[in-house]
C-alpha cells in the first residue's frame, strides 16, 4: 500500500513561550503555559503519527529487499541457445557473428548467463539437438537458473520432416525435467534459395522447408513449448545469404538475432523493422506502398483467379482446400515488374479469409513468386485436434505485416 504523506503543521499561539509559575508545597515549581489565542492547533507529535513513520520505513525496506531480490533473479536468469551451422555463423567465405551472439548482445546478456551449443548439420531428426542438449545437461551446473532454452534452425530437418515429431518429443521429455524453470522456445528459420543451391543442397525444396516449419510449430504446441510466430520468414530475402544460398551472411544472422531478441522482450515479430546499417538491413519487399495491379491468367475450378494488390483482395473459387502448407498455383503474372524474376520470392502476409458459408478466419499465409508463376500457401491448424482445417472459400482480404507490398521491388 502506498505511503500517505502527513502534512505537518506548527502550533501557532498568541503568546509563545509564555508560562505562569506556581510554587509547589515540596519547593518545586510547576510552569503552566499561557498561550493566549490559539491561531493554529498544529499536528500532534503522537504515537499514531510516529508509528506511521516507522511502519512506512519498514514497508520501504521490504520493497527495497524485494527489488534487490528481483534484480538478483534477473541477473541470474540464464539462456541456453541450441543451433546448427546457422548458430555457428558458418559461411563458405568464413565465420561471421552468429544469431546467438547477436541475440546475446541485443538482450545485454552477461557472459555468465549465456550458454551456447551449435554444430553444423544438427537438427531434431538426426538426434543432433538431442546430443547438444545432453551435453548442456552435463556441463551446466545451475540448471534451475536457466529460464529460456532457445532452439533455432530447421534446415537440416526439412528433408526428413516426417520424423520431426519423434525427435521433438524426445527433446522435450529430456529438457523439461532437467531445466525445470525454463521456457522452451522453438525458432524455425532455416531457409535457402531454391534453384541456386548446389552440391549436397541442390535438391532442397521450398516445400520441404515449409513442412519443416509446420512440424516445428505443431509439435512445439503439442509438447507444451513455444514457437516464434512469423520467424520462418525472416530469411526470405536473397541478399541475406552467403554464396552457397543456404547459410545466412552477417545481415541474415543479425536478422535472426534481432527477431529472437524482440520476441524475448515481448515484441511481436515484424519483418520490416530493421534499420540499414553495417550489420543490419532494410527489407525492400515492403517499401513504398502498392503501385501495381497484377492480373493472374489462370483458371481455378473454371473461374478466373485475380490478385489485385491495389484492392488488396484475392478472389476465386477454392473448394475443400486443406490448409496444410501446400502451394496453390494462382497463375502466370503478366507484369513487366515481375518478368525475368526466376528465383523463388516469398511474401509473408496476414489476411481475412471468407468461406462460402460467409464465415471469416484471420490467417497467416504466403505468396510465392517463381518463374513468373504466382503461388499461394495457406496454413491453419484446427484448435481442437491440431490437424489442418479444410475450407471452401471465395475471397481473402490481404493485410501485410506492416507496409503494403511493392511489386517493383521484388526483383531488386
**Count of residues making up the chain:** 412
Taking the C-alpha atoms of residue 10 and residue 41, their distance in angstroms, rounded to an integer, is 8
Taking the C-alpha atoms of residue 227 and residue 21, their distance in angstroms, rounded to an integer, is 86
Confidence of residue 399 (pLDDT cuts 50, 70, 90): low
**Which among 327, 392, 333 has a CA at the least distance from the CA of 194?**
327
pLDDT at 410 over 50: no
Higher pLDDT, 328 or 162: 162
Tens digit of pLDDT for each residue in 339-358? 333 344 556 677 778 888 88
Q: Where is mean pLDDT largest: 148-162, 267-281, 369-383? A: 148-162
pTM recorded for the entire structure: 0.56
Residue 368 pairs in a beta bridge with 346, 375
Q: Across the chain, how many H-helices and E-strands are there?
A: 7, 19
Taking the C-alpha atoms of residue 18 and residue 31, their distance in angstroms, rounded to an integer, is 9
Sole residue written with cell 536468469: 77
pLDDT at 104: 95
Percent of the chain with pLDDT strictly greater than 70: 75
DSSP state, residue 113: G
3 CB neighbour count, 10 Å cutoff: 13
Residues 181, 236 contacting (CB under 8 angstroms): no
What is the overall mean pLDDT for the chain? 78
pLDDT at 13 over 80: yes
Q: Where is mean pLDDT largest: 21-35, 137-151, 327-341? A: 137-151
Is the CA virtual torsion 262, 267, 271, 272 positive or negative? negative
Sole residue written with cell 531428426: 125
pLDDT at 271: 40
User: b/e string for 134-158 if b means 16 or more Cβ within 10 A?
Assistant: eebeeebeebebbbbbbbbbbbbbb
pLDDT at 160 over 60: yes
Percent of the chain with pLDDT strictly greater than 90: 35
pLDDT at 213: 87
β-strand pairing of 12-13 with 19-23: unpaired
pLDDT at 338: 39
Q: Phi and psi for 351 in degrees, rounded to 5?
A: -160, 170
Residue 226 pairs in a beta bridge with 185
Taking the C-alpha atoms of residue 47 and residue 52, their distance in angstroms, rounded to an integer, is 8
pLDDT at 82 over 80: yes
Sole residue written with cell 503543521: 9
**Which among 291, 289, 321, 290 has a CA at the least distance from the CA of 305?**
321
Amino acid at each position: 500500500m502506498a505511503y500517505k504523506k502527513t502534512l505537518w503543521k506548527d502550533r501557532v499561539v498568541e503568546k509563545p513561550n509564555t508560562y505562569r509559575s506556581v510554587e509547589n508545597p515540596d519547593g518545586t515549581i510547576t510552569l503552566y503555559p499561557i498561550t493566549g489565542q490559539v491561531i493554529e492547533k498544529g499536528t500532534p507529535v503522537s504515537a499514531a503519527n510516529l508509528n506511521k513513520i516507522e511502519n512506512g520505513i519498514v514497508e520501504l525496506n521490504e520493497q527495497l529487499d524485494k527489488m534487490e531480490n528481483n534484480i538478483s533473479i534477473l541477473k541470474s536468469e540464464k539462456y541456453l541457445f541450441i543451433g546448427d551451422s546457422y548458430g555457428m555463423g558458418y559461411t563458405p567465405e568464413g565465420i561471421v557473428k552468429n544469431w546467438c551472439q547477436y541475440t546475446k548482445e541485443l538482450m545485454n546478456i552477461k557472459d555468465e548467463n549465456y550458454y551456447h551449443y551449435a554444430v553444423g548439420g544438427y537438427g531434431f531428426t538426426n538426434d543432433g539437438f538431442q546430443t547438444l542438449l545432453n551435453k548442456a545437461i552435463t556441463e551446466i551446473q545451475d540448471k534451475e537458473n536457466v529460464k529460456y532454452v532457445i532452439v533455432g534452425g530447421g534446415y537440416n530437418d526439412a528433408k526428413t520432416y516426417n520424423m520431426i515429431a519423434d525427435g521433438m518429443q524426445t527433446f522435450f521429455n529430456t529438457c523439461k525435467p532437467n531445466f525445470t524453470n525454463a521456457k522452451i522456445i522453438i525458432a524455425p528459420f532455416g531457409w535457402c534459395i531454391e534453384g541456386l543451391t548446389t552440391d549436397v543442397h541442390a535438391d532442397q525444396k521450398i516445400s520441404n522447408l515449409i513442412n519443416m516449419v509446420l512440424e516445428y510449430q505443431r509439435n512445439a504446441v503439442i509438447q507444451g513449448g513455444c514457437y516464434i510466430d512469423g520467424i520462418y520468414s525472416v530469411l526470405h530475402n536473397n541478399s541475406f545469404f552467403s554464396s552457397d544460398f543456404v547459410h545466412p551472411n552477417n545481415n541474415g544472422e543479425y536478422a535472426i538475432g534481432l527477431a529472437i531478441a524482440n520476441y524475448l522482450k515481448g515484441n511481436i515479430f515484424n519483418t520490416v523493422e530493421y534499420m540499414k546499417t553495417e550489420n543490419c538491413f532494410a527489407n525492400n519487399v515492403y517499401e513504398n506502398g502498392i503501385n501495381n495491379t497484377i492480373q493472374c491468367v489462370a483458371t481455378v475450378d473454371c473461374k478466373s483467379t485475380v490478385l489485385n494488390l491495389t484492392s488488396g483482395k484475392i478472389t476465386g473459387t477454392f473448394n475443400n482446400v486443406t490448409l496444410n502448407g501446400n502451394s496453390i498455383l494462382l497463375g502466370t503474372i503478366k507484369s513487366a515488374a515481375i518478368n525475368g524474376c526466376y528465383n523463388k520470392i516469398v511474401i509473408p502476409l496476414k489476411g481475412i479469409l471468407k468461406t462460402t458459408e460467409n464465415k471469416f478466419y484471420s490467417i497467416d499465409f504466403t505468396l510465392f513468386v517463381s518463374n513468373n508463376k504466382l503461388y499461394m500457401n495457406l496454413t491453419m491448424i484446427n484448435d481442437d485436434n491440431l490437424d489442418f482445417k479444410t475450407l471452401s472459400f471465395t475471397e481473402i482480404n490481404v493485410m501485410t505485416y506492416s507496409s503494403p507490398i511493392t511489386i517493383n521491388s521484388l526483383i531488386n
